[in-house]
Amino acid sequence: MSFYEARNLHFAYNDKVVLQGVDLCIQEGSIVSLLGSNGVGKSTLMKLFLGLLNPTCGEVMLKGKPLKNYSIKERALHISYVPQSTQVAFAFCALDIVLMGRIAFESCFKRASKIDISLAHAAMERLGILHLEKCTFQTLSGGEKQLVLIARSLAQGAKILVMDEPVSGLDYGNQLRLLETIILLSKEGYTFLKSTHFPEHALMLGGYTYALKKGRILAHGDTHETITQELINELYNTNIALKQTVCGYSVCIPSFVHIK
d(CA 147, CA 86): 12
**What does DSSP say about strands 216-222 and 208-213: parallel, antiparallel, or unpaired?**
antiparallel
What CA–CA distances, in Å, run from 140 to 137, 170, 259? 6, 12, 38
pLDDT band at 248 (very low <50, low <70, confident <90, very high): confident
Q: What is the pLDDT of residue 5?
A: 95
243: left (phi over 0), alpha (psi -120 to 50) or beta: beta
pLDDT band at 196 (very low <50, low <70, confident <90, very high): very high
d(CA 81, CA 47): 10
pLDDT band at 61 (very low <50, low <70, confident <90, very high): very high
pLDDT band at 89 (very low <50, low <70, confident <90, very high): low
pLDDT digits (tens, 9 = 90+) for 164-194: 888 887 888 888 888 999 999 999 999 999 9
Neighbour count for residue 27 (Cβ, 10 Å): 14
> Is pLDDT above 70 for 197?
yes
Q: What is the pLDDT of residue 109?
A: 52
Q: Mapped to the 3 state alphabet, what secondary structure does the chain carry?
A: CCCEEEEEEEEEECCEEEEEEEEEEECCCCEEEEECCCCCCHHHHHHHHHCCCCCCEEEEEECCEEHHHCCHHHHHHHEEEECCCCCCCCCCEHHHHHHHHHCCCCCCCCCCCHHHHHHHHHHHHHCCCHHHCCCEHHHCCHHHHHHHHHHHHHHHCCCEEEEECCCCCCCHHHHHHHHHHHHHHHHCCCEEEEECCCHHHHHHHCCEEEEEECCEEEEEEEHHHHCCHHHHHHHHCCCEEEEECCCCCEEEEECCCCCC
Q: What is the pLDDT of residue 245?
A: 75
Domains (range + CATH), the chain: 4-227 (3.40.50.300), 228-260 (no CATH)
> Is pLDDT above 90 for 227?
yes
pLDDT band at 253 (very low <50, low <70, confident <90, very high): confident
> Is pLDDT above 60 for 45?
yes
> Is pLDDT above 70 for 161?
yes
Q: What is the pLDDT of residue 67?
A: 95
Mean pLDDT of the chain: 89
d(CA 211, CA 239): 17
d(CA 32, CA 101): 23
The vertex-175 CA angle with 171 and 178, nearest 5°, equals 140
At residue 119, φ and ψ (nearest 5 deg) are: -70, -40
Q: What is the pLDDT of residue 207?
A: 95
Q: What is the pLDDT of residue 107?
A: 57
At residue 164, φ and ψ (nearest 5 deg) are: -95, 105
Residue 256 burial (C-beta neighbours within 10 Å; 0-12, 13-18, 19+): exposed
Q: What is the pLDDT of residue 29?
A: 93
Region 42-61: mean pLDDT is 94
Q: What is the pLDDT of residue 21?
A: 95
> Is pLDDT above 70 for 117?
yes
